[in-house]
Amino acid sequence: MVKNILIINGRIIDPARKIDQIADLLIKDGKISKIGKNLGKNDPDIELIDAKNKIVAPGFIDSHVHLREPGREDKETIATASRAAAKGGVTSIIGMPNTTPVADNQTVLEYVLSKAKRESLVNIFVAGAITKGEGGKELAEIWEMKNAGAIAVSDDGFDVQNLDLYLKAMQYCKTYGMPIIAHAEDRDLAAEGQMHEGIISSRLGLMGIPPCAEDIATARIICLVEESGHSAHITHVSSKGSVDFIRLAQKKGLNITADVTPHHFSLTDEALVGYNTNAKVNPPLRSEDHRLALLKGLRDGTISVIATDHAPHLWVEKEREFDTAPAGIVGLETMLPLIMTYLVQRKVLTLSQAFAKITCNPGKIFNMAKGTLGSGSDADITIFAPNEKVVIDRTKFESKGQNSPFHGMTLQGVVTETIVGGRVVVRNKMII
């Protein structure tokens, strides 16, 4: 049974409604009731949460998460991913389709959603594949997947290289009102590259991936958007050229949006010195000039979303030689402190600007009806201590994955309570 809850004394920040004030927030029957003063703290039937010196925000949305289930439950499950999300203040996630088997049909999507309903602590949404098996050769059944509950399509991990097929996919998706999450990478230019092509790759003797592999792919996606009249959301942007192309497209009035990961705005390819496989990702961490371009894109609004690309792997896989180790970083439990440390504390973004990128912006792009504290909205809420320091310890992650380059780093910002649909799932930093 969902209890009525009164959150008192918190600094309430709701970017969707341009609210930033010290006030109380009342939750009734799993919904936001009202924001104000003296809303019934003496009512014995209301659970009281004191948020003094804390920030109360809409529950965070992570629009790029690899659930691994079905097929790779040894790496992650729906249940463990949801626990990691809750611990990180993330109340809604979009699962990518590169499961085993690929989520390119109704059966797989219904399995994920039904299991999420039974086992997840947070709201789980799903994206279906653009092409069958993410093979890039034949369109998946987009209408079937939409009927099964998919809210977007993506071949994440692969860029659709057949542009005629990609154009048809955009035309179909426009008809069905399905957002496309686009992985921008020219396969030939990326080839067998292991990291960003530059001074560090030369020093390490590793084959590099040039930034133009992303730039060119971004440009052709933009051309397809202009031709089809549909939209595209370009995910995990990593290169300054890609940011420039997206900015130009937006100035032309094209419906192009983009996200960046916390690891791309906080780290550079220098994190790979010593052949650190925990910093191996795709797209790769790039040089400082690219990182600065990402910060500029976040600041001017070209990049409107932050998403983690949470990608858990087994430690034995990451302990392999660099060229055979899989790419990916776990990110659900480090998203908030990385945003607070690298964006808010360094005055790249204000609190409201930063949290728009993980609340109302992705909510709007993916038609999720999430990311706001408006009256009548689902009571998905994150409460955190903005000034509390935390030493990242991957051995204490709720995720099965421990592949994080941030292990041992001292960051700022700690989630203390997470509320999903009016139910407290994290209290005093502990899952309940």
What's residue 43's pLDDT? 73
What's residue 275's pLDDT? 98
Query: 111: exposed, middle or buried (C-beta count within 10 Å: 0-12, 13-18, 19+)?
Result: middle
What's residue 3's pLDDT? 80
Characterize the bridge pairing of strands 152-153 and 305-306: unpaired
Q: Where are the alpha helices (DSSP H) in 210-300?
A: 212-228, 240-251, 262-266, 288-300
Q: Decide: 101 and 69 in contact? Cβ < 8 Å.
A: no
Q: What is the pTM of this model?
A: 0.97
For residue 140 the two structure tokens come to 């998946």
Give CA–CA dist 307/265, Å, rounded: 11
Q: What is the pLDDT of residues 88-97, one digit of tens each?
A: 999 999 999 9
What CA dihedral angle connects 327, 331, 332 and 337, to 10 degrees? Answer: 180
Give CA–CA dist 89/334, Å, rounded: 10
Q: What are the catalytic residues?
A: 309
Q: Decide: 386 and 413 in contact? Cβ < 8 Å.
A: yes
- Which parts of the chain register pLDDT below 50? none
Q: What is the pLDDT of residues 385-429, one digit of tens each?
A: 999 999 999 999 999 999 999 999 999 999 999 999 999 999 999
